[in-house]
Amino acid sequence: MSLVLRVRAERLALRAPFRISRGVKTHAEVVVAELADGEVLGRGECVPYARYGETLDGVAARLAAVGDRLRSGMPIEAVLAALPAGAARNALDCALWDLEARRTGRSVGQRLGRPPPGPIPTAVTISLGAPAAMRAAAAAVADAPLLKVKLDAEQPAACLAAVVEAAPDARLIVDPNEGWTLAVLMAMADQISRLNVIMVEQPLPADADQDLEGLVYPAPLCADEAVHTSEDLERVAGRYQMVNIKLDKAGGLTEALAMADRARALGLGVMAGCMVCSSISIAPHLWVAAQADACDLDGPWWLAQDRPGGCRVESGVLYPPQSGFWGG
């Protein structure tokens, strides 16, 4: 198989600023990998994440170097094995899944022995802001069954209460994005115990979460930044009850599927999560989401304009892309 890799970086405008405890973004910065075998083309997309030392230019350059190795005759399996887990490997791995489906006429579902994913309830994110702004944002999506509430250490109780006031029937994911201390986490315990909170995601910094070991808390604790690949799962199993699997952390669909299986074997719940991205990123992740306990794949919902034929989110339900969009 003689493969050609084309790479492009894109900045996709958001329909509203996206704020978390670490900052704010107005665009999704993505890198698209197009892997071609003659006229047959497979696509993958990744989101470089500064939290992990990745940049748009750096990931694009890493993938460009991959193209050089492919042209020199290096097998793609060896190229993938040499890439570290992260955004670049994710784009290439997903592009290969798509390409193989189109080359062979066997869809990803046929290769996995699974039916195509159907509509899946997904969390809709309430961006961090003042309580009044978060109340208004929650009111606009109050029909969604699951809301992810971004919080930091500044008036988290007031912000959470504002969201609940606007959307009293929604289940909640509380997500401080490493922005709390143990003291804040424990101070929030009583309020969280009285609300329909299904998990608290990465409350403490990933490199300072040892205080979570054996902690009994009113809602399950979910590892995000603390877990990237299968190799991390045993280390976090005593500190968290769930793990957030993201393709950009795991390095692609291949590792994400293996990671979900390993998490289950360790008794951990699974959430399928994403960065702010387009539907090219989300389509592969539907295969993880279909087996997950919770889904947080509203990345394209934040875009001013998604890819033609991509996923859509309506009333908190994620609908798969049109037939042929990705994966056969």
Cα–Cα distance list, 147 to 30, 154, 222, 296 (Å) = 25, 20, 15, 9
**201's tokens:** 């995601």
By CB atoms closer than 10 A (0-12, 13-18, 19+), residue 255 is buried
Q: Give φ, ψ of 147 to 5 degrees.
A: -120, 135
Strand, helix or coil for residue 305: coil
Q: What angle do CA 86, 91, 93 make, to 5 degrees?
A: 90
Tell me the one-letter amino acid at 176: P
Q: Is 54 left (phi over 0), alpha (psi -120 to 50) or beta?
A: beta
CA–CA separation, 196 and 302 (whole Å): 25
Cβ(21)–Cβ(128) below 8 Å: yes
- Report the amino acid identity of residue 267: G
- Residue 279's Cβ-count burial label (10 Å; 0-12, 13-18, 19+) is buried
- Three-state SS string over 205-233 comes to CHHHCHHHCCCCCCCCEEECCCCCCHHHH
Cβ-proximal residues to 207 (8 Å cutoff; 6+ apart), any chain: none
Beta partners for residue 207, in sequence order: none
Q: For residues 87 and 30, what is the distance between their CA atoms, to the nearest angstrom?
A: 9
Distance, in Å, from the CA atom of 298 to the CA atom of 42, rounded to the nearest integer, reads: 23
Residue with tokens 């250490």: 153
Catalytic residues: 150, 246
Position of tokens 């959307």? 167
Give 303's strand partners: 14
